[in-house]
Each structure stands twice: as C-alpha cells, then as structure tokens.
Amino acid sequence: MAGPEPQQLRRLIDRFPQPPDDDQFAHADDLLDGAYDRMAGAWYDRLRDLTDAYADGDALREELLAHAEAVPAFRLSDGAAPLRERRRRLTEAADAHPVIAEVAAWYGDLRDLLEDDPDDLTPVERALHDFGYAVAHGLFLRASAPETVVRRLRLAYRLVGVRIDDTATDGAERTTFTCPYRNLGADRCGKRWLCHEKLDRVDDGYVTYLAERGIDYQRPRGCAGSAQCYSTVARESPEQWWPKTPPDAVSES
C-alpha cells in the first residue's frame, strides 16, 4: 500500500472549494482570521505541486499527509478546553457562507484518502504491523508517560542501527535521527519508499498500541530533502481546529 491512486488524488485536489469573491465570504473568512484565504493560497499551491510529484514518483504519501496536517487552521480549543468565543465565530462563519462547511468536508476527504486504512494493508504490511504491535507489549511495558515511552523508543531505534542526532521537548518529545535504511531499494522503488511505506509498518504497530493507552506517537516523517527524519511522542490530545473539525461538530457540542 504505497498510497492512493494518483488520478484519484488529482480528482480530489481539483474539487477544492475555491474562495468565492463576495462580501459574505469575506466576512466569514475574517471571522476565521483569514485561515481560508491562506489555505487557498500558498498551502493549496504546494499541495498541487506535491500531487504532481507524487504522480511522477518523486514524493511519498507521507509528504502529502505531512503537508495536509500543516494546513492553515483556526483553533477551537486549548487542549481539551473549548475556546467558546472561537467556536461561536466558526458557527457564525458557517452560517454566513456554506463554503466554510464545504471546505471542512473536502479536507476530511483528503485526510481519509491520505491516512492509512488498516483494511487496505497488504498481507506483508499487516504482518509487519502485527509484529510491531506484539513487540510494543514488551517494549512499552508499564510505560505510561511520553517521557518514558520516548526513552524506550530511542533504545529501539538504536538497536536497529538508527543514529539519534537530536532530542527536544516542545510540547511533545521529539527525536531527530538518521536512518540507515532510507535509500534501501531506492533504485527499484524510489528513495525512502521501502523505508517509509513498508518497514515503517512496524512503527504503525507501535502507534496502534500506544494510541490504545492515550499516547500519541507520530512515527518518522519529514525526510524529504534531508538525510534526517523525526518522530514525536505526546499525550493524546482532543484538541479541535477547523478545517479538521467541521462547523456542525461545534454547533452540536
């Protein structure tokens, strides 16, 4: 499972609801601090470029997903605490123009297309995921805090020959490293493809195990144009933001 079909992805990208040129939209986007306008600008242009590169075999699904997650956003909560005034503004913006809800639905479709679907795993990928899930039971035994989890994770990295380059704590435990497998099979499959789209299914097993215990492990990504990758570990957060959180989810809560 290397990602969605390029034509399927192109069709979705082409369906992006472009901002209309009318006063109602201007008012709605102003309520969202201009997030929609920024989304339709440089962020969308870069998304199209990445889609072209993906179709040509020069970008991975992960790079598209990382860019999708970096969408200009309008924050609706501070961690678990709702920001009621900002939620009211999103509801008002959606009432002012239907495109606010439409782009949230489009963004949800984009995330669904780019994120892993366990039902789409090949038998080999499923076996790697299940192996990682089984290993996680021993590797993270009694590890209930991000600080403990990341220490065990870095040990696992080192055991398979990964060099830890830097560590940081900035709301999450971040590990920057150099992977010796990044170009394994590059001549046949493309750079980082075997490493990220196949071998990292073991990490997906870790992700599944830790998510069941309230820990958010963002497995290695961010390797494009660099010899380094990074991963993060944090408490799972119910944080909400538009366009990931649609207006109707706010109005119903």
- For the stretch 26-42, pLDDT in tens is 999 999 999 999 999 99
| Residue 115 DSSP label | S
Distance CA 18, CA 25 (A): 11
Q: CA torsion sign, 87 to 89 to 90 to 91?
A: positive
Distance CA 33, CA 54 (A): 31
Q: What is the pLDDT of residue 1?
A: 44
Distance CA 31, CA 89 (A): 6
pTM of the model: 0.72
Q: What is the pLDDT of residue 175?
A: 92
Phi-psi region of 191 (alpha: psi -120 to 50; beta: other; left: phi over 0): beta
How many CA atoms are closer than 13 Å to the CA of 166, on its beta-carbon side? 8
Whether residue 223 is predicted with pLDDT greater than 90 in this model: the reply is no
Q: What is the pLDDT of residue 191?
A: 62
Per-residue tokens: 68: 């999708």
Q: Where are the domains of the chain?
A: 6-116+239-251, 118-235
181-194 mean pLDDT: 64
Q: Are strands 241-242 and 163-169 parallel, antiparallel or unpaired?
A: unpaired
Pick the CATH number of 118-235 from 3.30.720, 3.30.1380, 1.10.150, 3.20.20: 3.30.1380
